[in-house]
Amino acid sequence: MHFDISQVQAYQWALAIVSAMVIGMSKSGITGLTLMFIPLMAISFGGRASTGLLLPMLCVGDLFAVAWYRRNAEWKYLLKLLPSALVGLGVGVAVGGKLSDNSFRYLLGGIILALLALMVWQDVRKKEPSYPQALWFAVVAGLAAGFTTMIGNAAGAITSIYLLSMRLPKNSFIGTAAWFFFIINLLKIPLQIFFWHNISAGALTFDAIMIPAIAVGAAIGILAAGKIPERAYRVFVMVMTGVAGLLLFVL
C-alpha cells in the first residue's frame, strides 16, 4: 500500500502532530491517551493506512520510554505475558481485514470495561484477589493484548489493567509496559510490511517528520509522571482506561 505524503492535507498534518505528542506522553507515563486518537487517525487516513502510520511512531515512543525506564521493568510479569501475546499477534494477522472496524471497536471496548470493572470491584472490596497471579489471567491478557495491538494498535488499556492488577509501583508499571510494547511493536513491523503491505517508504518519511513531536511528548510525560503520587497515578490510569473503553463505543 503506497502512502503519498504529498497528498496529506493540513488538518491531517495537525492531527498527526498532536497524535505524535500524545504517543510520546502516553509511552512515558501519562498512559491511556493514545487510544483516544487511534479512531481519529483511522477516520482521517483510513483504517489500514493509519495502522501503518501509527506503528513506527509507537516504536519511537517505545524507544524513548525504554531508554528512560529501562531499569524499572518487572521481567517475571513480562515473561508470563509475552508467549500468549505472540499467539495473539498471529491470530490478528490471520483475521486481519475480516473483522469490521465497528466489530473490533465494540469487542475491544467490552473487554476493557469488563476487566476494569472486575479490578474496581476488587479494589472496593479491599480484598487481595487471587486471579492476577493465575496463569490463565496472564494467558487471557496476553492473547487479548497481542490480538488488539495487531488489529488496531490498541492494546494499551488491556496491558494497563493486567499490570495494575499486579500492584506494581508507578515506575515499574511504566517500565514493564515500555519493554512489553517495544518488543511487540518491533515484531509487528515485518508482519505489517509483508502481510498487510501498509508500511511504505512514504509512510516512514511521514513518521520521521513526527519524531520531534514524539520527543516533546515523551519529555512532558516523564516530567508529569514524576509529579503524580503512587495512589493518584493508579487512579489516573484506571480512569483514563475507562474513558478510552467508553470512547470506543461512541467514536
Dihedral sign computed on CA atoms, order 42, 179, 56, 22: positive
What share of the chain has pLDDT > 90, as a percent? 43
**Residue 21: which residues within 8 A CB-CB, separation 6 or more?**
213, 214, 216, 217, 220
Q: Which of 122, 117, 151 is nearest to 245 (CA)?
A: 117
pLDDT at residue 129 tops 70: no
Residue 85's Cβ-side half-sphere holds a number of Cα atoms within 13 Å equal to 27
Q: What is the pLDDT of residues 163-197, one digit of tens each?
A: 888 888 999 999 999 999 999 999 999 988 888 78
CB-based contact 164:234 (threshold 8 Å): yes
Q: What is the pLDDT of residues 27-63, one digit of tens each?
A: 998 887 777 777 778 778 877 788 889 999 999 999 9
Residue 32, SS3?
A: coil
CB-based contact 248:101 (threshold 8 Å): no
What share of the chain has pLDDT > 70, as a percent? 92
**How much is the pLDDT for 97?**
61
